[in-house]
Amino acid sequence: MTESINLNSSKILIVDDNINNIKIVTKALEKIGYEVCFARSGYEALDIATQEIPDLILMDVKMPGLDGFKTCTRLKEDKLTKDIPLIFLTAHETEEEYIIKGFNVGAVDYINKPVNLDILCARVKTHTRLRTLLNFWREKAQLDPLTNLINRDGLNKILNKAVANFGICFALITVDVDFFKLYNDNYGHPAGDKCLIKIANAMKNSSTSSKQKFVSRIGGEEFSIILLGTNQSKAKSDAEHIRKVIEDLQIPHSKSKVKKIVTASIGLAVITPGTNDTIVSAFEASDRALYRAKHNGRNRVEVS
């Protein structure tokens, strides 16, 4: 699996008030393929780290204004930067108590000055690769293994961001494949898996009015789709388009009580800015609409 991961493509932030130190470390890191940015104070580092989101930070402990320990503490308090690994570089305070303090505030390593560049590069490689692999497996953990769509956990993260951004109107579309148990019973589970994969790919590749579409499988034959920056009229049209895309696959389903092909029932909820809607209420509203779609004959779209 790791063959597809670029383990050397990483951005390093160097934080040091001495420009000569920055130049020396930058030259060594760029020579082995790293992208480098730098800051000359703790305050500048906080700004750059939130903008650039580097893969690793190399930070001097002794700096005027905000020292390395305090800067590291602030970075670990920020959701955007708390997971970025940080290595302290310093010519001062190398006694055990200061090294332990560095680890306690969140550093992953500690290198003394004058820096041995070979050792520094080796440790940078180790920590950036660990971060890259960790990010890879975190992403894999949010994917459905059958369809390769995002799963419920991944969907919740996207919804959390959408709800937190009150300026964005978004739609939650819940899709349930009609009479899928009968399909599995009649054609077998391997055929059922192939059916779900075809539906997943069709929904993922379908065009919508929203430029930001996230398709997920939340369990069994049920899918959810988030459309960001939309309204009820556009979202309803998009949901109807998705229903037709599934129908147009023309997957045979002799046991279906709707048509003799695979169809889907769809529930739609639109969350508008300035309301008290939450992720839970969004799912509840979409599920209520889905229930009505099933109750009213299936292979249709209902809006909450």
**Tokens 């109750």 belong to residue:** 295
Distance (Å, rounded) from C-alpha 111 to C-alpha 94? 9
Catalytic residue among 221, 240, 284, 302: 221
d(CA 85, CA 57): 6
Question: Buried (b) or exposed (e) across 159-198, using 16+ Cβ within 10 A?
Answer: beebbeeeebbbbbbbbbbbbbeebbeebeeeebeebbee
User: Which of the 8 DSSP states describes residue 300?
Assistant: S
Among the listed residues 184, 220, 183, 224, the one whose alpha carbon sits nearest the alpha carbon of residue 203 = 224
For 95, the token pair is: 């006694």
Distance CA 264, CA 196 (A): 11
Determine whether 3 is an active site residue: no
What amino acid positions are annotated as catalytic residues? Answer: 221
